[in-house]
Chains A and B, each alone.
Chain A
Amino acid sequence: MNSVTNIQKYSIHDGDGIRTTVFFKGCPLKCVWCHNPETQRFEKELQVDIPKCTGCGRCEAVCPTGAITMLEPTAEGRKSQLDRSKCIKCGKCVDACLGNYRVLVGREYSVDELVKICLQDQMFYEQSGGGVTLSGGEVMAMDSNYIRQLVKRLYREGVDVAIDTCGQAPYSNFEAILPYVHTWLYDIKAIDNEKHKRYIGTGNELILDNLKKIAKTGARIFIRIPTVKEVNGDTESMAAVIDFLKENDIRPAQVNLLPYHSTGSHKYGKLGRAYEAEELTAPSDEEMQSFVEQWEKAGFTNIKIGG
C-alpha cells in the first residue's frame, strides 16, 4: 500500500503553476487506454526495457531465484527473459544492469520523507501559484489515514494541494481531506454507464455521486475529460457531461479536455503486458476545438485543451 511510482518536479500540466506531482501506485479502475500502466497495480513491479537489453547476462548472474534466463541470440541480439512468477522483486538485477534498463517500480515513503521531497520546490510554488498534486494511479484508493496525514502536513506547510482523482473511492476518504485540498482535478470518463463499464471496467455510480457531494461543499473543481473518439469524443457524450454538471449545479473552475494519446503504450511491454487499446483514436484538432465551443456555449468558462 501507499507506494509511489514517480515524483515529477516542474510538473506544469496537473493544476496551477509549477507543481510537484506524486504518482501513487494502484488504481481501482482499469481504463483500457491508461498511459501509466505501471500505476495500475498496487504491488511492486519490475519494468524491463527488452529492446535496449544488450544481453550481457549480469542480471541472470545475480538473480537469487533463477527468474532470469538468457535467450538464444536473434536478429536483435541476445536478450534476457523474465519469469515473473519466480521474481521476488529484490532489485538485485536492477543494480546489476549497466544501462538502467531495469526499474523496480513502486517505492514506499514515510509521510516525513514525502513531505520533505515535496517541500524542495516550495519557492517555485509560491512564485508561480503552484503546489503539490497527488495523483496516480489513484491517490484516493491509498490508505486514508496516510493520505490525510500527508495532505494535512503539506497544508500546514503552506503548500497548495491538488488531488488528481478518478473518484472511485469511499466518500469518507474524500471527506477526510476536504478542508486541506485547494483544487480537485476530477476525471469524468463517461456518463453512459454501459460505455463506462466496457472501457473502464466498472460502473460510474460512485464516481458521479462523490463528485456531487464534493461540489456541494463548495470545493474548487477542475473537470478533466480524457477524450477518446470511440468512448466520449463526440457531441452527445460531451452534452451528457454538460447536462450532468448543470443538473447538479456543479460549476467547475476549469474544464480540461485531454486528447487521447498512445505514448504510454510502450510501457505495457516493459511490464510484460499487452496494450489493448490499439483501436482507440484521438479526436481531430477541429473536433477538439468544437468541443471547447460546445462547452462555452453551455455557459462554462476556462475550457482548455490539454492539462
Chain B
Amino acid sequence: MEERGMNARIKALRKVSMETQPHIDLERAIIETEVYKKWEDKVSLPVLRAMVLKEYFSKKTLYLGEGELIVGEKGKDPQSSPTFPELTCHTIEDMYIMNDRAVVNYTVTKQDLKDQEEIIIPYWKGKSMRDKLIAGMTHEWRKCYAAGMFTEFMEQRGPGHTCGGKNVFIKGYADYKEEIQAAIDALDFMNDPEAVDKKDELEAMLIDCDAVMILGERYQKLLKAEAEKCEDPVRKAELEQMAANLDVVPAHAPQTYWQAIQLYWFTHLAVTTELNPWDAFSPGRLDQHLYPYYKKDTKEGILDDERALELLECLWVKFNNQPAPVKVGVTLKESGTYTDFANINTGGIKEDGTNGVNAVSYLILDCMDEMKLVQPNSNVQISKKTPHKFLKRACEISREGWGQPAFYNTDEIVQELLNAGKTLEDARQGGSSGCVETGSWGNEAYILTGYLNIPKIFQLTLYNGFDDQSGKQLGPETGYAWDFKTYDELWNAFTIQLKHMVDVKVRGNNVIEKLYAKYMPAPCLSIVTNDCIKKGKDYNNGGSRYNTRYIQGVGIGTVTDCLAAIKYNVFDNQNFTMKELIEAMDDNFVGHEEIFNMVQNKTPKYGNDDDYADDIMQDVFRQYRDEVTGRPTMCGGQYHVDMLPTTCHIYFGEVIGATANGRLAKKPVSEGISPEKFADTNGPTAVIKSCAKMDHCSTGGTLLNQKFTPSALAGDTGLENLASLIRTYFAMDGHHIQFNVFDKETLLEAQKHPDDYKDLIVRVAGYSDYFRNLDEELQNEIINRTAQSF
C-alpha cells in the first residue's frame, strides 16, 4: 500500500492506522455492565450514564502510539470498535456475521465471544434500546419497516449528528464545571416542577467533566513516565511537552495550537464513547477555531507551518483510527461502511459574515491532500466571498479523483438555517456534517431519523397500496393504476400514499425520540452544546438551542422518471395503456421490449434540463417537503427534509420490482438528487440545471454526485472549468456537489483485481470509501454513474 504523510512519523502512524484490521473491543461494554449492575435503579438515569463514562475513562486501557503527538483512542488501540450493548445487544450469531462477512468486517476473538455470552448477553438481552424501540412500534410500522419503506437510524445507534462550536476550543472542563454548578445553584425548587430532573441532568454533567479530566490526568502520568524512560532526547522533549500540555487541557482553556487540538480530541472521545452517536462528532469550523492559536504561536515563535501541519496530520490519523461502531441488519444496509462520517468543513464565512478562509484553511487542504484518508471526511465550504485561489486549490485536490474535498455552498446553507429559524449569527456558524446535513454548529441537535423509500411509495400507488414484494397491504387502498383516468388521479393517489407513509414513520419517530429522552441522555454532548446547561436539559431531550429532526428522501430521480414515463406515454401520447405498462413491469420488461424502449430511450427524463421531466421533479419534491416540513417533534423542534442516500439507494432498490421508467427489478434507485443512471445525456451543465430547479434552501441538505473522466478536467483549463461549474451551481443555490474522476475501465479493473487497487478511494454518497470495501452492487452502481467527458 502507498505510504503517505509529510514525514517518517506520520507515515508510520498512518501505516498502523491503514493496516490494522478493525476489531471489536468489549472493554467498555464490560465496564458499563458492571456499573449498571451495581447502580441501576439506585441513581438517576443521567447520573448512571455519566458514571459509565467516568468509570470507563478511569479504568480503560491507555494507548500511546510510537511517535504520537496527539493522544487517546476510543478503545484499547487503533481500529478498536467499542460496543454499546445498551443500544444493541449483539447475539452470538451477530458476532460471527460481523467477523465473517466479506466487507465491513470486524475481527471478533474467542475471548470476545466468551465475554459476550457470559457477561453482556445475560444482562442486556431484552433491555437494550433496540429491544425497547421495536417493542414500542405499531404492527403497521413493523410491517412497513420490514418491507423497506423506510429505515430507522436510532435502531442501533444513538442520535448525535452534530458538530462542536467555538466552546469546544476555548473552554476547559473545569470552566464547564463552574457553569454547571452555577446552573444548579440557580435552580428554583420552590416553583419549577422540573427542578429535580434538571438537577439530575446537571449533576450528570459534572460527573462527565470529571470523567474527561481523569482521562487527561491518566495520560499526563503516562506521558511523564514514558518521558523519564525515553532515551531519545528529541522524543523525550516531545513527551515532556505533551505531558505539559495535559497540565492545561482538558481541565482549562488551551493556551496553544497543540493544546487546542488535544482538547478537541478528548472531547471527541468523550462524546463518541458516552454513546455511539451517528456521524461521530466533528470539530465544526476547525480552521477558524484553530486560527487564533496558530497566529499567537507563530508570532511567539513556538510554531511553524511544518509543525502546524504535522499536528493536523496526527489528528487526521486519530480520526482514521476510529472505525464506525459495528452495524448489522438493515442499519448495515443503509450505511455499509467503516466510515463514521466525522466531517470537517473548511473555509466558509465567519460569524460577522466576512470571508472565513485563513492560513490554517490552506494547511487543512494540504493535510487532506497529503493524507488521502476516508476519515475524517474533508470538505470545503465555498461562499461568494471565498477567494478563487482557495477554490482552485480545492478543485486541484478534488480532481485527483477520490471525492475529497466535496463542495458545500455556504451562502445557501445560511439561507437553509435562516429558513429553519436560526439567528443570522448562528446560521453563519453552521454547515454540513455527516454527509450533507445542515445544522448550526455548537447550538443544534439535528437528528437524522431514517431514509424514506419514495420510489416504493410510488410503486404502492400503482397497486392499490399493495406491496408485491412483501405480499402485504402497506398503504391505503387508493385504486389500481389502470383505474386512474387522468394523470391527476394518479398524482392524487400518490400524495395519499406519501402522507400515509410519512405518518407511519413520524409516529414511530415520536416514540423513539421519547425513549431516547428518557433512557439515553448524553450529558457529555450536552455540556458542549449551547443552552443545555442553561436549560438543565439533555441534548436528547430538547436541551439544545435548536432541535431539528430530518427524514431523508431517497430516489427522487427514479420517481420523477416513473411519473414522466406514465404521463408522457400513457396520458399525453397514448403510446401504450397503463395495463400494458403494468404487465411489462410485472414481467420485468421481458417480452415487452417496445415498451421498455419507449420508457427507457424515448421519454423525457430528469437531469437533462428538460422542463417536462424537471417540472415533475419539482412537484414530487414540494409534495414530499411540505408533507414533512414543520411537523412538530416531541422535544420542541420541527421536521425538515434532507435529500441524501448514504448506501440506502442500493437497499431500497433491492426491495422494489421493476419500475415504470424501465429500471429493472432489484436494481438500485437513484441516489441523492442525482438523475437515474443512464438518464442524463446532456452533460454536466444540464444535470446541474435540473438539480437546481429544486428549492434547496427549503431543505436541510441535498447531495449531488458527478463523475468525470480525467481528460475532461485536464490542465489548468480543466481546473478553471470545474471551478466555474461549482460557482455556477452555487449561484443557483445548489447545496453540495462532489466528484469522482475515474475512467470506467479503471473501476472495472479494480473490481476484477482488488488487490492491485488497495488505495483506490471513490466517492459514495456524502463520504468517500475504499472501492474494495464496497459490496459488488454498490461498486456496479458507481461504475455505471454517467461519466461526463467531452
Residue B351 CB within 8 A of the other chain: no
Residue A98 CB within 8 A of the other chain: yes
Bound Cα distance from A120 to B684, whole angstroms: 13
The smallest C-beta distance from B519 to any residue of chain A, in angstroms, reads: 51
Q: Which of A18, A99, A124 has the most CB of B within 10 A?
A: A124
> Are the CB atoms of B682 and A18 closer together than 8 Å?
no
Bound Cα distance from A98 to B683, whole angstroms: 23
Residues in chain A near residue B596, CB distance under 8 A: 98
The A contact surface, by secondary structure, is: loop
> Are the CB atoms of B717 and A10 closer together than 8 Å?
no
Bound Cα distance from A58 to B601, whole angstroms: 16
Chain B residue at smallest Cβ distance from A21: B790
Chain A residue at smallest Cβ distance from B731: A123
Binary CB contact string for chain B from 759 to 790 against chain A (1 if under 8 A, 0 otherwise): 00000000000000000000000000000101
Asked, given contacts A98-B594, A98-B596, whether A12 binds B732 with beta carbons under 8 Å apart, the answer is no
Residue A249 CB within 8 A of the other chain: no
Residue B721 CB within 8 A of the other chain: yes
Residue A127 CB within 8 A of the other chain: yes
Bound Cα distance from A9 to B724, whole angstroms: 14
Residue B479 CB within 8 A of the other chain: no
Residues in chain B near residue A130, CB distance under 8 A: 724
> Are the CB atoms of B724 and A13 closer together than 8 Å?
no
Binary CB contact string for chain A from 88 to 115 against chain B (1 if under 8 A, 0 otherwise): 0000000101111000000000000000
Complex partner residue of A10 from B594, B683, B720, B727, CB under 8 angstroms? B683
List 16 contacting pairs A-B, 8 Å CB cutoff, sorted by A. A9-B683, A10-B685, A12-B712, A18-B685, A58-B594, A95-B602, A98-B601, A120-B685, A121-B685, A121-B689, A124-B724, A124-B725, A127-B724, A128-B720, A128-B725, A130-B724
Residues in chain A near residue B724, CB distance under 8 A: 17-18, 124, 127-128, 130
Chain A residue at smallest Cβ distance from B610: A120
The smallest C-beta distance from A306 to any residue of chain B, in angstroms, reads: 8
Bound Cα distance from A8 to B712, whole angstroms: 14
Q: Which of A8, A10, A95, A128 has the most CB of B within 10 A?
A: A10
Bound Cα distance from A242 to B397, whole angstroms: 39
Chain B residue at smallest Cβ distance from A128: B724
Residues in chain B near residue A202, CB distance under 8 A: none
Residue B686 CB within 8 A of the other chain: yes
Binary CB contact string for chain B from 593 to 623 against chain A (1 if under 8 A, 0 otherwise): 1101100011000000100000000000000
The B contact surface, by secondary structure, is: helix
> Are the CB atoms of B721 and A128 closer together than 8 Å?
yes
Residues in chain B near residue A8, CB distance under 8 A: 683, 790
Bound Cα distance from A219 to B167, whole angstroms: 60
Binary CB contact string for chain A from 3 to 47 against chain B (1 if under 8 A, 0 otherwise): 000001111110001100000000000000000000000000000
Bound Cα distance from A17 to B727, whole angstroms: 13
> Are the CB atoms of B725 and A18 closer together than 8 Å?
yes
Residues in chain A near residue B632, CB distance under 8 A: none
Residues in chain B near residue A121, CB distance under 8 A: 685, 689
Asked, given contacts A10-B684, A95-B602, whether A120 binds B731 with beta carbons under 8 Å apart, the answer is no
> Are the CB atoms of B689 and A120 closer together than 8 Å?
yes
Q: Which of A13, A56, A123, A130 has the most CB of B within 10 A?
A: A123
Asked, given contacts A9-B686, A10-B683, A11-B790, whether A98 binds B721 with beta carbons under 8 Å apart, the answer is no
The 10 closest A-B pairs by CB, nearest first: A128-B724, A10-B683, A98-B597, A127-B728, A9-B683, A127-B724, A10-B685, A121-B685, A124-B728, A9-B685
Bound Cα distance from A8 to B727, whole angstroms: 21
Binary CB contact string for chain B from 712 to 724 against chain A (1 if under 8 A, 0 otherwise): 1000011011001
Interface of A toward B, CB cutoff 8 Å: 8-13, 17-18, 56, 58, 95, 97-100, 120-121, 123-124, 127-128, 130
The smallest C-beta distance from A237 to any residue of chain B, in angstroms, reads: 26
Complex partner residue of A127 from B682, B712, B718, B731, CB under 8 angstroms? B731
Residues in chain B near residue A9, CB distance under 8 A: 682-683, 685-686
The smallest C-beta distance from A122 to any residue of chain B, in angstroms, reads: 10
> Are the CB atoms of B721 and A12 closer together than 8 Å?
yes
Interface of B toward A, CB cutoff 8 Å: 593-594, 596-597, 601-602, 609, 682-686, 689, 712, 717-718, 720-721, 724-725, 727-728, 731-732, 788, 790
Residues in chain A near residue B732, CB distance under 8 A: 123
> Are the CB atoms of A127 and B727 closer together than 8 Å?
yes
6 further A-B pairs in the complex, CB-CB below 8 A; given A9-B682, A98-B594, A124-B728: A9-B686, A10-B790, A12-B790, A13-B790, A56-B593, A120-B686
Chain B residue at smallest Cβ distance from A307: B717
Bound Cα distance from A76 to B709, whole angstroms: 31
Q: Which of A9, A99, A120 has the most CB of B within 10 A?
A: A9
Bound Cα distance from A18 to B790, whole angstroms: 11
The smallest C-beta distance from B383 to any residue of chain A, in angstroms, reads: 15
Bound Cα distance from A301 to B102, whole angstroms: 57
The smallest C-beta distance from A110 to any residue of chain B, in angstroms, reads: 18
Residues in chain B near residue A17, CB distance under 8 A: 720-721, 724
Bound Cα distance from A123 to B732, whole angstroms: 9
Chain B residue at smallest Cβ distance from A100: B601
> Are the CB atoms of A10 and B728 closer together than 8 Å?
no
Q: Which of B596, B683, B684, B724 has the most CB of A within 10 A?
A: B724
Chain A residue at smallest Cβ distance from B594: A98
Residues in chain B near residue A120, CB distance under 8 A: 609, 685-686, 689
Chain B residue at smallest Cβ distance from A123: B728
Residues in chain B near residue A95, CB distance under 8 A: 602
> Are the CB atoms of A12 and B717 closer together than 8 Å?
yes
The smallest C-beta distance from B78 to any residue of chain A, in angstroms, reads: 44
Bound Cα distance from A121 to B718, whole angstroms: 18
The smallest C-beta distance from B784 to any residue of chain A, in angstroms, reads: 17
Residues in chain A near residue B685, CB distance under 8 A: 9-10, 18, 120-121, 124
Residues in chain B near residue A56, CB distance under 8 A: 593
Bound Cα distance from A11 to B717, whole angstroms: 12
Residues in chain B near residue A100, CB distance under 8 A: 601
Residues in chain B near residue A127, CB distance under 8 A: 724, 727-728, 731
The smallest C-beta distance from B590 to any residue of chain A, in angstroms, reads: 13
The smallest C-beta distance from B725 to any residue of chain A, in angstroms, reads: 7
The smallest C-beta distance from A159 to any residue of chain B, in angstroms, reads: 14
Bound Cα distance from A8 to B732, whole angstroms: 22
Bound Cα distance from A8 to B686, whole angstroms: 11
> Are the CB atoms of A10 and B731 closer together than 8 Å?
no
The smallest C-beta distance from A92 to any residue of chain B, in angstroms, reads: 13
Residues in chain B near residue A128, CB distance under 8 A: 720-721, 724-725, 728
The smallest C-beta distance from A127 to any residue of chain B, in angstroms, reads: 4
Bound Cα distance from A88 to B594, whole angstroms: 23
Residues in chain B near residue A12, CB distance under 8 A: 712, 717-718, 721, 790
Asked, given contacts A10-B788, A18-B685, A124-B724, whether A98 binds B593 with beta carbons under 8 Å apart, the answer is yes
Residues in chain B near residue A124, CB distance under 8 A: 685, 724-725, 728
The smallest C-beta distance from B595 to any residue of chain A, in angstroms, reads: 10
The smallest C-beta distance from A4 to any residue of chain B, in angstroms, reads: 15
Bound Cα distance from A127 to B727, whole angstroms: 7
Bound Cα distance from A267 to B728, whole angstroms: 35
The smallest C-beta distance from B367 to any residue of chain A, in angstroms, reads: 29
Residues in chain A near residue B597, CB distance under 8 A: 97-99
Residues in chain A near residue B609, CB distance under 8 A: 120
